[in-house]
């Protein structure tokens, strides 16, 4: 189910503000979208290779320079497309979930 | 002392223990192998290294300069093994065989609805059941020898916790429950019906497409088979339901009969272990606890499972939707009842905690006699109750409660083999209570008469005690030790009073039992009988207490 969802979330995060890996990880973990941090790095690299993001080095007070990720024009375009897809998916799924069931069919979930 | 290495990780210098270095290096190698087919895998590895450096840097302090093996293990857990990364990145990949997968469903521990670790709840989610049932089954396993505890611990290790939103969705798949199976079956059956109904028309049509005839035939066979299968499954379901209804109802009735004392008179079944529950409870703890309270606990602890059997049987047969929250409510009440049961058990234990004992040796005036005559005191006031049918037959009588609020209990007589050549008799009186002084008080309130005359022992048929207070295990035990070659003779009155005593004398040894019966014919000093086979006639004897 998450094919593309993680990419969408990463793009959304870097679109708001340039971010380095730790920021993105914190946000994804808060949303409980990832558990192990290693997941993020191949995705970041793929986004960069597809030209959707670029990165720049920035000096850090507390250590070596950090890689800040930044969204590109094609990245913004891809983001808005992915967002539209996501909205459509939500509406479609909602339609099915909230459609009334025919009388007598199905069961009452009582969890 | 440990050897440390200095490494440069992501541009930061670390001192690291040798073993920690080995495991970190191994981990990075694994990642490298894993990502090597990706485009730009160098970048990925560099990023990961920087992140690891950052985490390790946070772990350092003034007092802790060296990276240990534990630090590395913590970092690896955070970053994830290649297989976990793969799993999370691309949940549809089936590379990970260590996790149970079935379609798009997986076993997870459910952290949202958990009692201990969410295992039952996770299993319930997988099968779309009410978690209450899974928990009940687990509790049954726990009660039956504790295997449930082991199983739970194993599952705790084996089943991962549902951590992300997608885990949570995978936890539940298409539901498998009774109504679902039924629905499928009903569809199959009605399909079969229409099939059969239009058989005539279709067979005519099928002649036209003779080329596809065989395919149509097999399709028909398949549908019929499915129909038969559906009917069979439905029949099995109904049959199971009926069995559950009958069993549940029967158990409920039996429970009510027992707990509320519907089973006839209190004393008609005079062996006190067979007393009705309220009578027994009243006798044993009635002075300190409410019997009604105990009855309620008993009804809930056993009644709720019985009722749920009955209820689910009804559901299987009559196919109504489940009543909302019934299972959960019942389970909660049951847990509360279990708690009260444990509490009552503790309280009853306290009532019987301390014991007092009095032991006296009864000395025979003429110990040299070959035979000990045990004679019943025929003037005992308790004997009149024995002749009263209301109190049952002496044959299986063990306890009587009189109108005068006195309790009559049969003494226990045990015969053992003597170590010396003398017949000796020990009378032990016991009683229990909350404290020693209470037990002692119970002991002194107890009446039992025994006397010797010549080579005879005269005993009262009953132990008598007042029951303004409850029965607290007051008991008299007579142990008669007889050397081989000597005899015991129970008089007629004693034998008539309670043939059960014969069993008490020799619960297991039938040959000795035979001997006891013949004992009326044994005359002291009659050489013909004694001389035949001394040992076989020895009044010996079970060493076990009855």
pLDDT classification of B138: cutoffs 50, 70, 90: confident
Q: Is residue B95 part of a domain?
A: no
Contact present, A34 and B88 (Cβ < 8 Å): yes
CA distances from B341 to B292, B297, B353 (A): 13, 6, 18
The mean-pLDDT minimum among B30-34, B38-42, B272-276, B539-543 falls in: B539-543
CB-based contact (8 Å) between A101 and chain B? no
CATH 1.10.10.10 is held by the domain A5-91: yes
Please write down the HEC assignment for all residues of B339-382.
Answer: HHHHHHHHHHHHHCCEEEEEEEEECCCCCCCCEEEEEECCCCCC
CB-based contact (8 Å) between A45 and chain B? yes
A66 min Cα distance to partner chain B (Å): 9
Q: What is the domain range of residue B148?
A: 101-171
Whether B84 shows a pLDDT value over 50: the answer reads yes
Cβ-nearest to A110 among B44, B163, B324: B324
The mean-pLDDT minimum among A49-58, B159-168, B512-521 falls in: B512-521
Cβ-nearest to A36 among B53, B88, B177: B88
Whether B338 shows a pLDDT value over 90: the answer reads yes
In terms of domains, do B390 and B477 share one? yes
pLDDT classification of B336: cutoffs 50, 70, 90: very high
pLDDT classification of A104: cutoffs 50, 70, 90: low
In terms of domains, do B318 and B411 share one? no
Contact present, A41 and B48 (Cβ < 8 Å): yes
pLDDT digits (tens, 9 = 90+) for B159-170: 777 766 566 666
Q: Cβ B322–A110 below 8 Å, yes or no?
A: yes
Whether B104 shows a pLDDT value over 80: the answer reads no
Q: Output the six-digit token pair for B405.
A: 């609020």
Q: How far, in Å, CA of A84 to CA of A4, rounded?
A: 13
Residue B514's pLDDT is what?
A: 32
Average pLDDT over residues B465-472: 72
Whether A39 shows a pLDDT value over 60: the answer reads yes
pLDDT digits (tens, 9 = 90+) for B44-81: 888 888 888 888 888 888 888 889 888 999 888 888 88
Residue B59's pLDDT is what?
A: 83
Chain A partners within 8 Å of B105 (Cβ): none
Residues 4-43 of A with CB under 8 A from B: 6, 21-22, 25, 31-39, 41-43
pLDDT classification of B215: cutoffs 50, 70, 90: low
Q: Cβ A34–B164 below 8 Å, yes or no?
A: yes
In terms of domains, do B433 and B334 share one? no
pLDDT digits (tens, 9 = 90+) for A14-26: 999 888 888 898 8
Residue B302's pLDDT is what?
A: 93
B201 min Cα distance to partner chain A (Å): 32
Residue B522's pLDDT is what?
A: 30
Residue B366's pLDDT is what?
A: 67
Residue B531's pLDDT is what?
A: 31
A71 min Cα distance to partner chain B (Å): 18
Whether B190 shows a pLDDT value over 90: the answer reads no
Q: Checking DSSP bridges between strand A19-20 and strand A63-71, what pairing results, if any?
A: antiparallel
In terms of domains, do B365 and B492 share one? yes
Q: Is residue B288 part of a domain?
A: yes
Average pLDDT over residues B88-113: 57
Residue A1's pLDDT is what?
A: 41
Residue B342's pLDDT is what?
A: 93
In terms of domains, do B400 and B366 share one? yes
Contact present, B327 and B132 (Cβ < 8 Å): yes
Q: Is residue B17 part of a domain?
A: yes
Residue B198's pLDDT is what?
A: 58
Chain B partners within 8 Å of A36 (Cβ): 78-81, 84-85, 88
Secondary structure of residue B34 in the 3-state scheme: helix
Residue B513's pLDDT is what?
A: 31
Secondary structure of residue B160 in the 3-state scheme: coil
Whether B389 shows a pLDDT value over 50: the answer reads no
Q: Cβ B89–A39 below 8 Å, yes or no?
A: yes
The alpha-carbon radius of gyration of chain B (Å, integer) is 39
Chain B partners within 8 Å of A32 (Cβ): 163-165
Q: How many domains does chain B have?
A: 4
Residue B457's pLDDT is what?
A: 84
Q: Output the six-digit token pair for B207.
A: 């002649």
Q: Is residue B409 part of a domain?
A: yes
In terms of domains, do B113 and B189 share one? no
Length, in residues, of chain B: 546
Residue A57's pLDDT is what?
A: 87
CB-based contact (8 Å) between A2 and chain B? yes
Cβ-nearest to A42 among B35, B50, B81: B35
Half-sphere exposure of A91 (CA within 13 A, CB side): 6
Task: Tell me which chain B residue has its CA closest to the CA of residue A28.
Answer: B164
The mean-pLDDT minimum among B93-97, B221-225, B524-528 falls in: B524-528
In terms of domains, do B301 and B359 share one? no
Residue B176's pLDDT is what?
A: 44
pLDDT classification of A103: cutoffs 50, 70, 90: low
If you average pLDDT over each of B339-348, B487-496, B533-542, which comes out highest?
A: B339-348
Residue B485's pLDDT is what?
A: 66
Chain B partners within 8 Å of A111 (Cβ): 113, 124-125, 130-131
In terms of domains, do B328 and B366 share one? no
Residue B412's pLDDT is what?
A: 74
As a whole-number percent, the residues of chain B with pLDDT over 90 amount to 7
Q: Is residue B96 part of a domain?
A: no
B118 min Cα distance to partner chain A (Å): 14
In terms of domains, do B335 and B368 share one? no
B14 min Cα distance to partner chain A (Å): 13
In terms of domains, do B342 and B424 share one? no
CA distances from A1 to A38, A97, B93, B104, B167 (A): 19, 16, 12, 10, 10
In terms of domains, do B242 and B293 share one? yes
Last residue of a domain, one of B61, B89, B117: B89
The mean-pLDDT minimum among B162-166, B216-220, B444-448, B515-519 falls in: B515-519
Residue B42's pLDDT is what?
A: 84
Task: Tell me which chain B residue has its CA closest to the CA of residue A63.
Answer: B12
pLDDT classification of B355: cutoffs 50, 70, 90: confident
The H-assigned helical ranges of B8-40 are 18-35
Last residue of a domain, one of B135, B150, B171: B171
Q: Cβ B47–A44 below 8 Å, yes or no?
A: yes
A77 min Cα distance to partner chain B (Å): 23
In terms of domains, do B52 and B147 share one? no
Residue B162's pLDDT is what?
A: 75
Q: How far, in Å, CA of B230 to CA of B193, rounded?
A: 12
Q: Cβ A45–B10 below 8 Å, yes or no?
A: no
Whether B418 shows a pLDDT value over 50: the answer reads yes
> Mean pLDDT for chain A?
83
CA distances from A48 to A55, A75, B139, B152, B293 (A): 8, 9, 54, 46, 72
Last residue of a domain, one of B295, B325, B351: B351
Sketch the domain layout of chain A as residue ranges: 5-91
Q: Is residue B543 part of a domain?
A: no
Q: Cβ A21–B81 below 8 Å, yes or no?
A: no
Chain A partners within 8 Å of B110 (Cβ): none
The mean-pLDDT minimum among A82-86, B141-145, B305-309 falls in: B141-145
Whether B199 shows a pLDDT value over 70: the answer reads no
Whether B304 shows a pLDDT value over 90: the answer reads yes
> Mean pLDDT for chain B?
72
Q: Output the six-digit token pair for B453.
A: 């005359």
Chain B partners within 8 Å of A107 (Cβ): 175, 177, 179-180, 321-322
Residue B470's pLDDT is what?
A: 72
Chain A partners within 8 Å of B37 (Cβ): none
Residue B467's pLDDT is what?
A: 67
Q: How far, in Å, CA of B529 to CA of B370, rounded?
A: 13
Q: Cβ B51–A41 below 8 Å, yes or no?
A: yes
Q: Checking DSSP bridges between strand B399-401 and strand B406-409, what pairing results, if any?
A: antiparallel
Q: Cβ A107–B57 below 8 Å, yes or no?
A: no
Q: How far, in Å, CA of B92 to CA of B166, rounded?
A: 11
């Amino acid at each position: 189910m998450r094919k593309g969802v993680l990419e969408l979330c990463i793009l959304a995060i870097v679109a708001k503000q340039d971010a380095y890996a730790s920021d993105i990880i914190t946000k994804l973990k808060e949303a409980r979208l990832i558990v192990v941090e290693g997941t993020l790095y191949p995705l970041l690299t793929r986004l960069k290779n597809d030209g959707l993001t670029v990165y720049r080095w920035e000096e850090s007070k507390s250590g070596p320079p950090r890689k800040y990720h930044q969204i590109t024009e094609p990245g913004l375009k891809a983001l808005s497309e992915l967002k539209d897809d996501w909205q459509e998916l939500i509406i479609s799924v909602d339609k099915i979930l909230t459609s009334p069931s025919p009388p007598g069919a199905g069961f009452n979930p009582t969890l | 002392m440990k050897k440390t290495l200095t490494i440069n990780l992501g541009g930061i210098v670390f001192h690291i223990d040798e073993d920690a270095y080995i495991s970190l290096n191994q981990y990075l190698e694994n990642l490298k192998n894993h990502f090597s087919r990706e485009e730009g895998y160098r970048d990925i590895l560099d990023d990961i290294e920087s992140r690891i450096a950052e985490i390790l840097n946070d772990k350092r302090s003034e007092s802790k300069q060296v990276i240990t093996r534990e630090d590395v293990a913590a970092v690896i857990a955070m970053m994830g093994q290649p297989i976990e990364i793969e799993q999370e990145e691309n949940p549809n990949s089936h590379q990970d065989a260590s996790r149970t997968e079935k379609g798009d469903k997986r076993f997870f521990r459910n952290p949202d609805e958990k009692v201990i670790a969410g295992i039952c709840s996770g299993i319930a989610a997988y099968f779309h059941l009410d978690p209450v049932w899974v928990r009940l089954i687990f509790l049954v396993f726990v009660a039956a020898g504790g295997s449930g505890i082991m199983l739970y611990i194993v599952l705790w290790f084996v089943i991962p916790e549902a951590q992300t939103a997608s885990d949570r969705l995978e936890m539940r798949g298409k539901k498998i429950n009774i109504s679902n199976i039924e629905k499928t079956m009903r569809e199959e059956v009605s399909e079969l019906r229409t099939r059969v109904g239009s058989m005539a028309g279709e067979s005519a049509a099928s002649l036209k497409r003779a080329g596809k005839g065989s395919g149509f035939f097999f399709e028909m066979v398949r549908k019929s088979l499915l129909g038969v299968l559906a009917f069979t499954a439905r029949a099995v379901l109904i049959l199971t339901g009926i069995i559950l209804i009958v069993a549940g109802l029967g158990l409920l009735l039996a429970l009510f009969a027992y707990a509320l004392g519907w089973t006839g008179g209190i004393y008609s079944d005079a062996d006190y272990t067979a007393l009705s529950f309220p009578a027994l409870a009243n006798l044993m703890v009635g002075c300190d606890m409410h019997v009604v309270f105990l009855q309620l606990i008993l009804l809930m602890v056993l009644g709720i499972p019985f009722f749920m059997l009955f209820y689910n049987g009804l559901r299987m047969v009559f196919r109504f939707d489940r009543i909302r929250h019934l299972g959960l409510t019942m389970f909660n009440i049951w847990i509360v009842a279990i708690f009260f049961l444990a509490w009552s058990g503790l309280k009853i234990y306290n009532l019987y905690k301390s014991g007092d004992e009095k032991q006296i040796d009864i000395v025979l005036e003429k110990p040299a006699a070959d035979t000990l005559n045990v004679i019943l005191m025929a003037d005992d006031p308790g004997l009149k109750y024995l002749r009263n049918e209301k109190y049952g037959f002496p044959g299986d009588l063990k306890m009587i409660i009189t109108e005068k609020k006195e309790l009559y209990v049969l003494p226990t007589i045990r015969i053992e083999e003597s170590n010396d050549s003398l017949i000796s008799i020990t009378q032990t009186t016991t009683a229990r209570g909350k404290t020693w002084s209470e037990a002692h008080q119970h002991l002194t309130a107890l009446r039992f008469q025994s006397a010797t005359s010549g080579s005879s022992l005269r005993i009262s048929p009953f132990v008598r005690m007042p029951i303004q207070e409850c029965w607290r295990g007051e008991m008299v035990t007579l142990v008669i030790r007889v050397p081989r070659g000597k005899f015991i003779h129970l008089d007629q009155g004693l034998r008539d009073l309670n043939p059960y005593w014969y069993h008490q004398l020799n619960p297991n040894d039938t040959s000795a039992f035979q001997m006891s019966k013949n004992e009326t014919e044994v005359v002291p000093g009659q050489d013909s009988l004694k001389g035949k086979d001394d040992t076989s006639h020895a009044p010996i004897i079970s060493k076990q207490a009855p």
